Amino acid sequence: MGSHPNILVFDSGLGGLTVLREIVKARPDAHVTYAADDAFFPYGQHSEEALVGRVVPLIGELIDAHTPALVVIACNTASTLVLSHLRAAYSVPFVGTVPAIKPACAASTTKRVSVLGTSGTVKREYTRALIRDFAGGCDVTLVGSVHLAALAEAALGGADVADEAIHAEIAPCFVDADGSRPDTIVLACTHYPLLLDRLMRLAPWPVDWIDPAPAIARRVVTLLGPGSGPSDHQGDHPGAEMVFTSGRLPRFTAALAPYFGGRVPA
Ligand code: DGL
């Protein structure tokens, strides 16, 4: 690995790749380890107790195995619950992914915003507090989706996912109240930007879809520094790894390549 700091990016599945993609662009010199807790996917369906009991020790094992300089919890369902526990337990810096309610409400012209997340994320006290503190007079609709993360994984894996299935998950975000419509939708699950083209196409009217990944990458750069560029020209290139808790071997397909900035993870 040479002088390349290791950044550990963690999610329940492949949604965190949408965050990894921005981190790789922002710090092309860093080694990246992508860890997916696919054995426990989807996180949205687990109780808060089960998730804390699962994620806190698992992140400890990943820190021991990969000695990251920084850990990104690229999962809203986990971040809105376990970040404080992780920071109390481990000294490595953490960056979380939480619903981008503040920028969305600041940007909305109609003052109507929908937050599309897992059913776990929309239930969290953390999410409710973000609305209380940052809605700034906006009317915020929370939409908990049960199936969209799994549909995004299926689509990334090459399955033929029907428009109707995606439309059914996003429809509750689009409520027209006597001509007053949401104009901004927070993508509060890292899986959803995997489907962005289809979300835009299936939306009943145009809206801004807020993906927090670029802001997360900027936070990583603030904490780790700007880095030294893609390569030090001495044959010492940053690498990439993919780890699945199910133990399955990483099945690296062409569809995943863009998320790793062209690297092929070990
Ligand atoms: N990618 C995760 C998030 O950001 C959740 C998907 C799941 O339910 O596991 O919330």
DSSP-based three-state secondary structure for 94: strand
Average pLDDT on 239-256 reads: 84
Q: What's the pLDDT score for residue 82? A: 97
Contacts of 185 (CB under 8 A, 6+ apart): 104, 113, 114, 115, 116, 170, 173, 207, 208, 209, 210
Domain spans in the chain, listed from the N-terminal domain onward: 6-97+214-260, 101-211
Which of 83, 119, 190, 210 should be mutated for ligand 1, with most atoms under 8 A from CB?
A: 190
Q: DSSP class of residue 136? A: T
Which residues form the catalytic set? 75, 189
Output the pTM of the full model: 0.95
Distance of CA 88 to the CA centre of its chain: 22
| Residue 1 pLDDT level (bands cut at 50, 70, 90) | very low
The fold adopted by the segment(s) 6-97+214-260 is Rossmann fold (3.40.50)
CATH architecture of 101-211: 3-Layer(aba) Sandwich (3.40)
| Domains 6-97+214-260 and 101-211 in one fold | yes
pLDDT digits (tens, 9 = 90+) for 205-233: 999 999 999 999 999 999 999 887 665 54
**Helices 76-89 + 125-134 axis angle, to 10:** 100
Residue 9 is encoded by which pair of tokens?
Answer: 């990016």
pLDDT digits (tens, 9 = 90+) for 68-124: 999 999 999 999 999 999 999 999 999 999 999 999 999 999 999 999 999 999 999
Q: What's the pLDDT score for residue 126? A: 98
pLDDT digits (tens, 9 = 90+) for 22-46: 999 999 999 999 999 999 999 999 9
Assess contact for 134 and 59: CB atoms under 8 A.
no
Residue 119 is encoded by which pair of tokens?
Answer: 């059913």
Residue ranges lining ligand 1, Cβ < 6 Å: 11-13, 15, 41-44, 75-77, 118, 121, 149, 189-191
Assess contact for 44 and 191: CB atoms under 8 A.
no
